[in-house]
Amino acid sequence: MSLQAPPRLLELAEQSLLRDGALAIPTLEELPRELFPSLFIEAFTRRCCEALKTMVQAWPFPCLPLGSLMKSRQLETFQAVLEGLDALLAQKVRPRRWKLQVLDLRDVDENFWGIWSGASAPSPEALSKRQTAENCPRLGGQQPLMVTLGLCFKNGMLDECLTRLLEWGKQRKGLLHVCCKELQIFGMPIHSIIEVLNMVELDCIQEVEVCCPWELSILIRFTPYLGQMRNLRKLVLFNIHVSACIPLDKKEQFVTQFTSQFLKLDYFQKLYIHSVSFLEGHLDQLLRCLQAPLETVVMTDCLLSESDLKHLSWCPSIRQLKELDLRGITLTHFSPEPLTVLLEQVEATLQTLDLEDCGITDSQLSVILPALSRCSQLSTLSFCGNLTSVAALENLLRHTIGLSKLSLELYPAPLESYDAQGALCWGRFAQLGAELMKTLRDLRQPKIIAFSTVRCPRCGIRASYDLEPSYCLC
């Protein structure tokens, strides 16, 4: 028979305080603030709603990180927290121990509650390091109570706690500031998304991800809200398509509406677009509207023209670029000059370069290599999926001698690894992989390196050679 450990003295004290189902403010004012977190967890777990209301009013820290406790959404306990805030906001004179500035509903800092409820307590200043109203770009001077949350739209409907919060916040304009820094859209009708965006402070949003297939016409309905996100740093767009029914002049009008929003984004730094076609031939419109230097340009599996790449290479906003990812953009028939100029523009800052599956030929590579060899900060280089000969790969490896910060290198299996029908010859691949690895080690000592084949048409996996070959199992 197993023996259960007796409750600690702290647990007994918490149970005693919560036994009657309610706590009085005077009692809490005498309670050491180090005991508040563990007592709050106990009240939240046991759904002691009256105790929660009182504890929220007497919370002795700048931030209450409620989000990490709400693994299972419990409307009853969440409503109790909101009622506690109501009582707090209704007081014209703040209580002596009123410290609360931020209710954080994001699912972060899971370790915080564990530390506070454990046997050893950290410094009482731990909570003070959490976000406060001073961190919000929207606020300054005398701040109202701030509610911080992340918005994630998926499964076609809003979380009931989020719905309740937004309704509650809408009725308390001026007393409350709803701050959302991250917006993710995985699937929900656009009218529902717009309804929620009308209830939050768009100035606070710093990151937006649209990860669901939208027609361009739907993106345009979202576009005016994008322009109001004046502190936006990062935008991710996945699978934005143009309907064949849209006339050319209407498409151009939509593109102008979208790109002109970037004129209002003074802090924009990171652009991620995947499987987006509407910017083909129009990338210059977006680039002209940029107001700040870009750190990241990721354009994967997109339709781009050679003129788009030229405009990118001469754009003043890319001269501090740290990451360039053009995976899946076919460059086979492009002049190598735009990519060469682009690498020359970013040689002092570029850290990550991904040219996977770009169809770059030997002749194009030979033109690009001198510029690549001067990218002194480069730490990650991916060149997989390009049909490159042994001679061209050896030339590429020689041009990396001066790139001392390279820590991850991914190269294609040489053309000579395949037979006339394009099938991989495993023995030949292993032999050439070993020879290329020796060539590189005679030049310098690589950290992580692999030579990889084109993707298997059945499983999508690449076979690779690092120290020895690894095979596709199909």
Q: Is 56 a member of any domain?
A: yes
From 87, 102, 117, give the residue that closes a domain: 102
Average pLDDT over every residue of 42-51: 84
Residue 289, in any domain of the structure? no
Q: Considering Cα of 339, then 342, then 344, then 348, what sign does the dihedral take?
A: negative
What whole-number distance in Å separates Cα of residue 406 and Cα of residue 4?
Answer: 55
Q: Tell me how many degrees the CA angle 34-35-36 measures, rounded to the nearest 5.
A: 95
Last residue of a domain, one of 86, 102, 118: 102
Instruction: Name the domain boundary from 52, 85, 102.
Output: 102
415 in a structural domain: yes
State residue 123's pLDDT score: 46
93: confidence class by pLDDT, cuts 50, 70, 90: low
Q: Which residues pair with 450 in a beta bridge?
A: 410
What are the DSSP calls for 332-375, one per residue?
TTS-SHHHHHHHHHTTTT--EEE-TT----HHHHHHHHHHHTT-
Token pair of 58, please? 């007497």
pTM here is 0.85
- Residue 119: what pLDDT? 35
| CB-based contact 58:29 (threshold 8 Å) | yes
Assess contact for 399 and 424: CB atoms under 8 A: no
Place of tokens 């809490």: 28
- Highest average pLDDT, of 14-18, 277-281, 417-421, 423-427, comes from 277-281
Cα separation, 414 vs 394, whole angstroms: 10
456: CATH:
3.80.10
The position carrying tokens 């995947």 is 274
Token representation of residue 182: 């991250």
Query: Which region holds residue 99: left if phi is over 0, alpha if psi is between -120 and 50, else beta?
Result: alpha
* Lowest pLDDT segment from 43-47, 113-117, 255-259, 386-390: 113-117
Element (H, E) at 380: strand 380-382
Percent of the chain as helix, strand, coil, to the nearest 5: 40, 15, 45
The size of the chain, in residues, is 474
What is the pLDDT of the chain when averaged over all its residues? 85
Apex 245 CA angle, 241 and 251, nearest 5: 60
Contact between 380 and 352 under an 8 Å Cβ cutoff? The reply is yes
Closest CA to 32 of 89, 100, 97, 103: 97
Secondary structure (3-state) at 451: strand
The answer to whether residue 89 sits within a structural domain is: yes
Dihedrals phi, psi of 114, to nearest 5 degrees: -60, -40
Give the model's confidence band at 44: pLDDT under 50 very low, under 70 low, under 90 confident, else very high.
confident
Q: Which residue has the tokens 């030949």?
A: 428
CA 417 to chain centroid: 38
| Model pLDDT, residue 153 | 87
Residue 90 CA to residue 146 CA, distance in Å, equals 15
**Strand 234-241 with 270-276, pairing:** parallel
pLDDT tens-digit readout, 365-420: 999 999 999 999 999 999 999 989 999 999 999 999 999 999 999 999 999 999 98
Give the pLDDT band (50/70/90) at residue 471.
low
CB-count burial class (<10 Å; 0-12, 13-18, 19+) for 3: exposed
User: Cβ neighbours of residue 84 under 8 Å, at least 6 residues apart?
Assistant: 52, 53, 54, 55, 56, 57
Which whole number is the average pLDDT over 437-448?
90
Please provide the DSSP assignment of 300-323 as one string: ES----HHHHHHHHT-GGGTT--E
CA distance 50 to 389: 73
Residue 155's CB is within 10 A of a number of other CB atoms, namely 10
Q: How many domains does the chain have?
A: 2
| 206 within domain boundaries | no
**CA dist 67 → 112, 194, 222 (Å):** 12, 24, 27
Judged by DSSP in three states, 150 sits in strand
Provide mean pLDDT across the span 178-199.
89
**Residue 5 DSSP code:** P
pLDDT digit string (tens) for 162-181? 888 888 887 887 788 888 89
Domain of 436 in residue numbering reads as 322-473
Residue 368: how many CB atoms within 10 A of its CB?
20
**Residue 124 CB neighbour total at 10 angstroms:** 14
Whether 306 is covered by a domain: the verdict is no
Report d(CA 269, CA 166) in Å as an integer: 29
Residue from 116, 97, 77 nearest 26 by CA? 97
95 in a structural domain: yes
Q: Would you say residue 269 lies in a domain?
A: no
